A = this chain, B = another copy of it.
Amino acid sequence: MDLINKVLERIKPSEEEHKRTIQLAKNVIDELKSLLDDIDAEPMLVGSVAKGTNLKNADVDIFIRYSPKYDRSTIEKKTIELGKKILKNPLVNYAEHPYVRGKFEDVDFEIVPCYRVEESNRKITSVDRTPFHTEFILKNLREWQRDEVRLLKQFLKGIGIYGAEARVEGFSGYLTELLVIKFGTFMDVLKNAQRWKRKTHISLDNTKKDFESPLIFIDPVDPNRNVASAVSIDNYSLLIFSSREFLKNPNEKFFFPGQYKEFDLRKIDERGTKILHIWMKRPQVVDDILFPQIRKFARYLSENLVEFSITKIGYYVDNNVHLIIESYYHDLPPLMVHEGPPVWSKNSEEFIKKWKGRAFNGPYIMNGKFFADIERRNRKIEDAIMKLISSGSIGKDLDKLKETIVFSRDPSTIDLKELSRVLDYRFPWEL
Query: Whole-angstrom distance from the CB of A353 to the nearest CB of chain B?
Result: 12
Task: Evaluate contact between B272 and A364: CB separation under 8 angstroms.
Answer: no
Query: Whole-angstrom distance from the CB of A364 to the nearest CB of chain B?
Result: 4
Nearest residue (CB) in B for A362 is: B425
Does A270 belong to the interface (CB within 8 Å)? yes
Task: Evaluate contact between A343 and B311: CB separation under 8 angstroms.
Answer: no
Among A65-73, A114-122, A145-153, A231-239, the one that faces the other chain is A231-239
Query: Whole-angstrom distance from the CB of A420 to the nearest CB of chain B?
Result: 10
Which among B196, B236, B328, B343 is the interface contact of A332 at CB below 8 angstroms?
B328
Give 28 CB contacts A-B under 8 Å: A197-B344, A198-B342, A198-B344, A198-B368, A214-B368, A233-B367, A233-B368, A234-B365, A234-B368, A236-B368, A237-B344, A237-B365, A237-B369, A238-B343, A240-B343, A270-B360, A271-B333, A271-B334, A271-B373, A272-B334, A272-B335, A273-B333, A307-B309, A311-B337, A311-B373, A361-B425, A364-B425, A364-B427
User: Restricting to A325-363, which residues have a CB under 8 Å from any CB of B?
Assistant: 328, 332-335, 337, 342-344, 348, 360-362
Nearest residue (CB) in B for A271 is: B335
Query: Whole-angstrom distance from the CB of A242 to the nearest CB of chain B?
Result: 10
Interface residues of A (CB under 8 A from B): 196-198, 214, 233-234, 236-238, 240-241, 267, 270-273, 307, 309, 311-312, 328, 332-335, 337, 342-344, 348, 360-362, 364-369, 373, 423-425, 427
Residues of B within 8 A of A237 (CB): 342-344, 365, 368-369
Other than the given A272-B334, A364-B425, 19 more pairs (CB < 8 A) read: A196-B344, A198-B368, A233-B368, A234-B365, A234-B366, A234-B368, A237-B342, A237-B368, A238-B343, A241-B343, A241-B348, A241-B365, A273-B333, A311-B335, A312-B337, A328-B332, A361-B423, A361-B424, A361-B425
Task: Evaluate contact between B271 and A365: CB separation under 8 angstroms.
Answer: no
Task: Evaluate contact between A328 and B333: CB separation under 8 angstroms.
Answer: yes
**Bound-complex Cα distance A198 to B196 (A):** 48
Query: Whole-angstrom distance from the CB of A79 to the nearest CB of chain B?
Result: 40
What 4 A-B pairs have minimum CB-CB distances, sorted nearest first?
A272-B333, A237-B343, A272-B334, A364-B425
Residues of B within 8 A of A368 (CB): 198, 214, 233-234, 236-237
**Bound-complex Cα distance A332 to B237 (A):** 31
Instruction: Tell me how many chains of this kind the complex includes.
Output: 2
Task: Evaluate contact between A273 and B335: CB separation under 8 angstroms.
Answer: yes
**Bound-complex Cα distance A105 to B241 (A):** 83
Task: Evaluate contact between B360 and A271: CB separation under 8 angstroms.
Answer: yes
Query: Whole-angstrom distance from the CB of A321 to the nearest CB of chain B?
Result: 21
Query: Whole-angstrom distance from the CB of A345 to the nearest CB of chain B?
Result: 9
**Bound-complex Cα distance A337 to B273 (A):** 12
Query: Whole-angstrom distance from the CB of A207 to the nearest CB of chain B?
Result: 23
Residues of B within 8 A of A273 (CB): 333, 335
Query: Whole-angstrom distance from the CB of A245 to the nearest CB of chain B?
Result: 9
**Bound-complex Cα distance A233 to B342 (A):** 11
**Bound-complex Cα distance A2 to B75 (A):** 92
Query: Whole-angstrom distance from the CB of A414 to the nearest CB of chain B?
Result: 16
Task: Evaluate contact between A234 and B334: CB separation under 8 angstroms.
Answer: no
Query: Whole-angstrom distance from the CB of A388 to the nearest CB of chain B?
Result: 20
Query: Whole-angstrom distance from the CB of A239 to the nearest CB of chain B?
Result: 9
**Bound-complex Cα distance A1 to B240 (A):** 79
Nearest residue (CB) in B for A425 is: B364
**Bound-complex Cα distance A328 to B367 (A):** 21
Task: Evaluate contact between B271 and A344: CB separation under 8 angstroms.
Answer: no
Residues of B within 8 A of A424 (CB): 361
Query: Whole-angstrom distance from the CB of A334 to the nearest CB of chain B?
Result: 4
Nearest residue (CB) in B for A348 is: B241
Nearest residue (CB) in B for A332 is: B328
